[in-house]
Amino acid sequence: MRILLKFVIDCDPDAAWRALHSPRAVAELYGPLLDVEALGTMPTSFESGDDVPVQMSVAGLVPVGRQLISVADRETRDANGRVRVFRDWGVPLTGPLSSLDVWDHQMAVSEAPGQPGKTLWRERLTIGGATAPALWLGLWTTWQWRAARIRALAPTWAHNPENDAA
């Protein structure tokens, strides 16, 4: 089963790519509803090959499960140019989602066609297993809310401290 998102956000692809690799930005996508906390040391930036276990909880009070974030980056091209893909193929370790056999979450960013300085955001979550049909609606709803958070937060991702130093 799949959940697909496709929309344009108000930041350039480089800013969106940095945000995908920022544990802080990722946690902000779920806030204030869900807290994402590392079980161990959270990296400053996710890198391809990272395996980061996290605990998710409602408002930091009610645990909803642990998840392993496993990162793989790749780059490809489409008719409009460069596409960078961030893949989290980790697995839910505990909680309701741990009943899934498949968890494959891919997010792709590229220049929005005809909209310089904006990003085309594409996202695909693939889930599988006997409980996937029962969990799909809740995940679909969460992903719609997540899309709204991405749109709202994207303009804040454009700040680049490296340019300030120059």
pTM listed for this prediction: 0.90
What is the reported pLDDT for 74? 97
Mind listing the domains of the chain with CATH numbers? 2-158 (3.30.530.20)
Q: Is the pLDDT of residue 60 over 90?
A: no
Beta-sheet strands, E only, within 17-132: 34-38, 51-58, 62-78, 81-88, 102-111, 119-128
63 or 164, which is more confident: 63
Mean pLDDT of the chain: 92
CB atoms closer than 10 angstroms to residue 54: 21
pLDDT digits 0-9 by tens, 91-129: 999 999 999 999 999 999 999 999 999 999 999 999 999
From edge to edge, which strands make up the β-sheet containing 51-58?
Answer: 2-9, 119-128, 102-111, 81-88, 62-78, 51-58, 34-38
Q: Is the pLDDT of residue 162 over 70?
A: no
